[in-house]
């Protein structure tokens, strides 16, 4: 130990006694142990008596023994030497050590503690379901009842996303619940065979299992999630067939979304007018054409309250064995309340404003109905000889309206068709006006109209079998 540390630390009375006892003076002491001294109060560390404690007078102090006097002498000399030793030290305290050049030693412990981030406590539950609590408090069990193991809750299974979920949600908003079936059509229908095609898909004939409901016509439409416009056409067709109720509009029995297809089960008719013309060598008689046109106009008047068809032709007019007439294939139907300029339909049956992509209204179906009437009597449409679409468009836009090519109609029929084929859509009549005019001509005898039974007999003569080859 250095001299400075020895000076800075003053020995106590006990330490002085121990050091003196270990010196040569202790050797001259007797073998008898010294009597212990009584403890002193407020004993000063130096040789100078304290001012706070008044010493007792000699008369009051008891006489000291020889050993006590010797010890008192030793203690007095030791305190005096220590006091003189301290007085020789400089009174000014030594300055603490500093690094040369006034460099500051960084307090890395303090800085690291200040930079230490505070712990964050995550209050959210653990994401992993495997985490188990370390301690589970057992529930209280009533006395007298044996404890039982509480069953674990059922596992939470991830709900798999249903294919075509967006279209399925729209389908359920469009149709009534009783017309939506969620079973596999392959297990519901048998004997599927193709009978035709429509704007949105192929049409097949099928029989229901157990012969419940007889035969139906099923139209299958492929569903692509990214083709949103196609969704609108399919849903619109389903809404018209499923929600509109008219004897001259084909009815929807049920619909199923299964896999990538939506299955539309509809009434099965015997044939289409196109199928009837294909299986004959000539066109229909005028009275049969009048009957079919009149029934179609009845359906159009009802449809035009909300929609326009935009694809009237012989392929989309269905006939029953009892002479029923129904409009079908509403895949291109569109609401009347909005502006329509799209060039949609079949080219040879399009009105001039549709070809020119002008804003058109529902009387475009009247133009198409006139072309269809010519087709029924001539067996072919007026522009049958044109194959290129651009040639057909040019003929419709720049030439006179078409007329009959292979048959000679009555003057009243010719006048009626010319009226319906007015190129000015503002002068062209509506379906309701044409229907009223036809009824007047039938009542006056200017037009001959077949009965429903006569039309049914004609259909059965062409298709004697119960199931036709085409629809």
* Residues annotated as catalytic (active site), given as ranges: 311
Contact (Cβ atoms closer than 8 angstroms) between residue 79 and residue 15:
no
Segment (H or E) for 91 = none
The residue among 315, 248, 272 whose CA lies nearest residue 463 is 272
The residue among 7, 8, 28, 42 whose CA lies nearest residue 73 is 28
Burial (CB count within 10 angstroms: exposed 0-12, middle 13-18, buried 19+), residue 212: exposed
Q: d(Cα 316, Cα 328) in Å, to the nearest integer?
A: 5
41 is in an annotated binding site: no
The residue among 195, 331, 214 whose CA lies nearest residue 271 is 195
Q: d(Cα 464, Cα 174) in Å, to the nearest integer?
A: 38
Segment (H or E) for 96 = none
- The SS3 assignment for 65 reads coil
Q: d(Cα 3, Cα 238) in Å, to the nearest integer?
A: 110
Provide the angle, in degrees to the nearest 10, between the axes of the packed helices 431-444 and 411-420: 170
Measured in residues, the chain has a length of 471
Count of other CB atoms within 10 angstroms of residue 410: 15
Q: d(Cα 145, Cα 161) in Å, to the nearest integer?
A: 46
Q: d(Cα 276, Cα 450) in Å, to the nearest integer?
A: 16
Q: d(Cα 314, Cα 348) in Å, to the nearest integer?
A: 12
CA 170 and chain centroid, separation? 13
Contact (Cβ atoms closer than 8 angstroms) between residue 206 and residue 218:
yes
DSSP conformation class of 335: E
The residue among 290, 308, 461 whose CA lies nearest residue 372 is 290
Provide the angle, in degrees to the nearest 10, between the axes of the packed helices 286-303 and 364-378: 160
CA distance from start to end of the chain: 121
Q: Binding site: what residues are annotated?
A: 219
Q: Binding site for ATP: what residues are annotated?
A: 219
């Amino acid at each position: 130990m250095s001299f400075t540390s020895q000076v800075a630390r003053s020995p106590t009375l006990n330490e002085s006694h121990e050091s003196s006892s270990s010196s040569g003076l202790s050797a001259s002491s007797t073998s008898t142990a010294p009597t212990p001294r009584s403890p002193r109060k407020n004993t000063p560390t130096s040789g100078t008596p304290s001012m706070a404690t008044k010493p007792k007078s000699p008369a009051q102090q008891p006489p000291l023994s020889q050993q006590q006097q010797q010890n008192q002498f030793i203690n007095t000399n030791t305190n005096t030497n220590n006091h003189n030793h301290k007085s020789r030290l400089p009174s000014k305290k030594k300055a603490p050590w500093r690094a040369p050049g006034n460099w500051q030693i960084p307090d890395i412990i303090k800085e690291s503690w200040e930079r230490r981030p505070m712990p964050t406590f995550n209050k959210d539950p653990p994401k992993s379901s495997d985490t188990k609590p370390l301690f589970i408090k057992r529930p209280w069990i009533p006395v007298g009842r044996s404890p039982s193991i509480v069953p674990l809750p059922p596992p939470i299974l991830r709900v798999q996303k249903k294919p075509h979920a967006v279209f399925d949600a729209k389908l359920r908003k469009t149709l009534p619940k009783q017309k939506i079936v969620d079973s596999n059509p392959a297990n519901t229908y048998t004997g599927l065979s193709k009978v035709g095609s429509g704007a949105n898909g192929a049409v097949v004939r099928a029989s229901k299992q157990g012969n419940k409901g007889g035969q139906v016509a099923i139209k299958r439409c492929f569903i692509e999630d990214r083709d949103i416009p196609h969704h609108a056409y399919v849903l619109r067709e389903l809404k018209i067939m499923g929600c509109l109720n008219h004897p001259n509009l084909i009815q929807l029995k049920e619909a199923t979304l299964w896999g990538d297809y939506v299955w539309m089960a509809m009434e099965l008719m015997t044939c289409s007018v196109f199928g009837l013309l294909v299986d004959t060598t000539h066109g229909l008689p005028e009275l049969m054409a009048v009957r079919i046109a009149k029934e179609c106009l009845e359906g159009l008047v009802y449809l035009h309250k909300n929609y326009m068809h935009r694809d009237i032709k012989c392929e989309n007019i269905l006939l029953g064995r009892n002479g029923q007439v129904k409009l079908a294939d509403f895949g291109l139907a569109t609401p009347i309340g909005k502006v329509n300029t799209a060039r949609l339909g079949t080219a040879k049956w399009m009105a001039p404003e549709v070809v020119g992509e002008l804003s058109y209204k529902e009387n475009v179906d009247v133009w198409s109905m006139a072309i269809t009437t010519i087709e029924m009597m001539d067996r072919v449409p007026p522009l049958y000889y044109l194959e290129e679409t651009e040639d057909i468009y040019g003929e419709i836009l720049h030439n006179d309206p078409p007329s009959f090519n292979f048959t000679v109609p009555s003057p009243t029929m010719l006048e009626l068709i010319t009226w319906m084929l007015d190129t000015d859509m503002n002068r062209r009549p509506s379906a309701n006006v044409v229907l009223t005019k036809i009824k007047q001509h039938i009542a006056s005898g200017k037009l001959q109209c077949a009965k429903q039974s006569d039309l049914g007999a004609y259909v059965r003569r062409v298709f004697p079998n119960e199931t036709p080859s085409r629809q």
